[in-house]
Structure 1
Amino acid sequence: MQDATDPFAEFLTSLQGIWINVVSFMSGMLAPGWRQNQVFILLGLAVLAWLLHRGTGVMLENWVRSREGWAKWQLRFIVQIKRRLGLMWFAALAGLVYAVMQNITWPSRSYLIGLAATLAAVYVLVAFAARLVRNRPLRRIVTWAMWIYATLYMLNVSDDVAGFMDGMAITVGDFRLSLLTLITALVVIGVLLTMARVVSQASASTIRKNDDISPSMQVLAVKGVQLALYGIAFYMGVKAVGIDLTGLAVLSGAIGVGLGFGLQKVVSNLVSGVIILLDKSIKPGDVISLGETFGWIQTLGARYASVVTRDGKEYLIPNEDLITGQVVNWSHSDDFVRLDIYFGTAYGDDPHAVRKMAIAAATSVDRVLSFKPPVCHIVGFGDSSVDYILRFWIKDPTGGLTNIRGNVYLALWDTFQENGISIPFPQREVLLLEDSKLAVSKPQTDATSG
């Protein structure tokens, strides 16, 4: 029975120790003497720091407005400085007063001022260091947690608070989880994940700048580095706080079986994405056609590929569709694309001259390649025209296909107009036989109407 009450007794003892320290500290500041004098000095420094913050903040804002061409990160940094000018002024003034009082009076008579200066400087450093955390709610949690810990540590009550939180624990068999262990695990894992994110961003930037690596392998390498770094950070964080992961093996296996049935499509898309990156069949920048969708690959994600069309629409195509469906990759092995257009001319026009004119018209268009010259052939004798096919090559399918076809058609029209080449259209003649009812009745109708 004694063992069951020990944790609760330790909890009460820790709580009582913290309360005694707080009451002793507050009573010391309220009593007349140097502690109270230091409190008044700190209040005066706070007012002076606030006035300096108002004045220098306006000066800093006017100075920044007079500058041009600054990057966004520089402007964000200046904004953060402006927000914390008051705390920075207070830390500087308190540090200066503390240094002077250390030389002209007893060190104990400036202890609170030195403590306030140190805490203010730590608060400023924590505020800037927390900017590495991009998520705003998480950044606020990290900032306040580090501020609270720094305050408790500087007040020499961190051990009492740690004992208090360690007493708030849940015990199931051999497993014990305290509030202190949970907070420590979150802090360690958060720090390691932040470091992993910074390292992964730096490595991703280095990989993307390497022109010897293909775009698809760059994406795969970046994803692999991120997965490895985040996995190592999480594992190290859990092991650092002493949590045994062997007990989670059975639970993770059961969860894996359940997810295998419910997330088949998701897993299929993930595996398909890895296959696409490995076989290099599709890579960022390729121009593809999938059904009615024509555009270029902007990004390759773990679950889908982003395809941007000429009209600005962005299609998120699952990776499985790119593996199982029929995809036309216009720039798989190279960027050369051959286009065909059809036209017809009248039977009275010389076909030899028409072919030469068509080739010259296509060559005059900017995007048509001259070192792969266009060709023109007769493909049939139609009812109303001689039918031709004009073939030409381009090297920039990302610039669009419909517009280049339209430009070639316009060049053909202008060339044919200048040289008197006609483009026929179907015409029909209707002959009225003399014995038909329409031919017989029409004069009678005219006579009657007259």
Structure 2
Amino acid sequence: MIPPALASWLAESGFGAPTAPDLVEAAVAGGIAILALAAGWLAGRRLGPPIAAFWQARVGNHVEGLAHRMGALVRHGSAALLLAIALNAWPWAALARAELGFALASASAMTMLVFMRGLHMPRWSAWAAATAVFAAILSHAIGGFNVITGTLDRIGMDVGTRRISLLAVVTILITAIALYAAARLANRVIAHSIAQARGFDATQKLLVQKLASIAVIVVVFFFGIDLLGIDLTSFAVFSGAMGLAVGFGLQKTVGNLIAGIILLMDRSIKPGDVIVVGDSFGWVNKIGVRAVSVITRDGEEHLIPNENLMTQEVENWSFSDRNVRVRIPVGIAYESDVKLAQKLMLEAALESPRVLQSPRPNVWMTSFGDYALEHEILAWISDPEGGVGNVKSDVLNRLWVKFQEHGIEIPFPQQVLHFRSSKGDRIGSVAGVRSETPVGGLEDAP
């Protein structure tokens, strides 16, 4: 037995006992649906690859998930468009309308599913959106959309002067998913467009991308509020509480956000710069909303708050010039050929692959040490992000070989003690500190 309410709705929708003309019309509608699906498959085969290539060229890897799904997207989208035209171009009977509606709902749901997965949306959200699209289109095609919305609206409860129904919850959920997907797509397309612009450097592109991202979020938020019909005056209390939260609890977060924007605007620190902040040395990987990512030579990634870079002293080795001078101390024995040793130091520096030929390296004698003639090799490099210690190691290794080949001695600490009797006569010497100071307790020495 069919429930009376369902039987009444089927009668109102025209789903009575089918007649011969109804069956013929249903067969025609089925044939049209098959032709629309076949045309969509052909469009996906022929138009999918060139559209995917165009998308890859225009958007690149910012929306990498849609490129290889473009064939499926064109296939289902073309079929859905043709089915929508066929459904609304003729006053079909109930059975034929149900067939076309089911085909249109399926094609539209598949289009939504492919699109959402192409944006790397969570699987549950993609399937939820596809299910909602399928249910809405099918129920609209067979005339039962108002029945579904009315049923969902009756399931709910009153909270104060407002009514919270299942229809409102579903509407808010579907709207939020759709707006999030639209904002995600808009952000990535805008990011690629800005990245391809030739009038900005890397720092300006990053700043414009962040400002554009904030603008997209604001636009999507207010569009969603208007779409859901929410009165903005209801946010008055919320905005006041938000102001207090920013003033007390979120001042550091807001300060870091503003500091990050200022860093990008004055371009004092850019991605790729080599900086030293306190004990952190490395190159800037990216400038985020809250912190700057600095990668050290050990592969460690330090997240330094933006405010610290604004208030502390920062060494930027590549701010105005990427050339950095490396100082390599070298000591030679006093008995060595100084001119030859300095020539070998210069050759070792010039042979190192990372040392620049211009400006040329130089060798300075810095002091007469206790046991060595102190020198310093001054070499220039243009890639400080590659590290400094490995340059010193390479030059010193080359210099060691050259010193060995030419008999240049590298001294080690030597100390000589001269022992004298209390009468001032020298009585011997041993390794120790070079000194003429009498050593007590030797009066009885032979």
**TM-score (normalizing by structure 2):** 0.73
- Using the TM superposition, give the Cα deviation of residue 258 of structure 1 relative to its aligned residue in structure 2, in angstroms: 2.8
| More displaced stretch, 117-126 vs 359-368 | 117-126
Matched residue type, 1:77: R
Q: What's the RMSD between the two structures over aligned residues?
A: 4.3
Change (3 A) 1:130 1:380: closer
1:123 matched to which residue of 2? 109
Change (3 A) 1:207 1:18: farther
Does residue 253 of the first structure (1) align with residue 245 of the second (2)? Answer: no
Matched residue type, 1:118: L
5 Å-filtered alignment, 1:388-407, equals 388-407=375-394
1:376 matched to which residue of 2? 363
5 Å-filtered alignment, 1:20-419, equals 20-21=8-9, 73=65, 77=69, 110=96, 112-136=98-122, 137-168=124-155, 178-419=165-406
**Aligned residues of 1:193 and 1:234 also touching (Cα < 8 A):** no
- Using the TM superposition, give the Cα deviation of residue 353 of structure 1 relative to its aligned residue in structure 2, in angstroms: 3.2
- Using the TM superposition, give the Cα deviation of residue 248 of structure 1 relative to its aligned residue in structure 2, in angstroms: 0.9
**Aligned residues of 1:189 and 1:233 also touching (Cα < 8 A):** no
Change (3 A) 1:183 1:120: closer
The separation in 2 between residues aligned to 1:146 and 1:133, in whole angstroms, is: 18
2:34 matched to which residue of 1? none
- Using the TM superposition, give the Cα deviation of residue 166 of structure 1 relative to its aligned residue in structure 2, in angstroms: 3.8
- Secondary structure of the equivalent of 2:303? strand
Change (3 A) 1:438 1:194: farther
Matched residue type, 1:289: V
- Using the TM superposition, give the Cα deviation of residue 339 of structure 1 relative to its aligned residue in structure 2, in angstroms: 0.9
| More displaced stretch, 146-155 vs 121-130 | 121-130
The separation in 2 between residues aligned to 1:244 and 1:333, in whole angstroms, is: 52
**Aligned residues of 1:378 and 1:388 also touching (Cα < 8 A):** yes
Change (3 A) 1:371 1:149: same
- Using the TM superposition, give the Cα deviation of residue 211 of structure 1 relative to its aligned residue in structure 2, in angstroms: 4.2
Aligned residues with identical type, % of pairs: 33
Matched residue type, 1:273: G
Change (3 A) 1:170 1:220: farther
- Using the TM superposition, give the Cα deviation of residue 153 of structure 1 relative to its aligned residue in structure 2, in angstroms: 1.5
Matched residue type, 1:252: S
Number of matched residues?
Answer: 390
| More displaced stretch, 156-165 vs 361-370 | 156-165
**TM-score (normalizing by structure 1):** 0.73
The separation in 2 between residues aligned to 1:438 and 1:143, in whole angstroms, is: 107
Matched residue type, 1:425: F
Q: Which runs of 5+ in 1 are unaligned?
A: 1-15, 46-69, 441-450
The separation in 1 between residues aligned to 2:355 and 2:107, in whole angstroms, is: 66
**Aligned residues of 2:98 and 2:138 also touching (Cα < 8 A):** no
| More displaced stretch, 194-203 vs 126-135 | 126-135
2:411 matched to which residue of 1? 424
| More displaced stretch, 260-269 vs 404-413 | 260-269
- Using the TM superposition, give the Cα deviation of residue 186 of structure 1 relative to its aligned residue in structure 2, in angstroms: 4.1
Q: Which runs of 5+ in 2 are unaligned?
A: 32-55, 420-426, 429-440
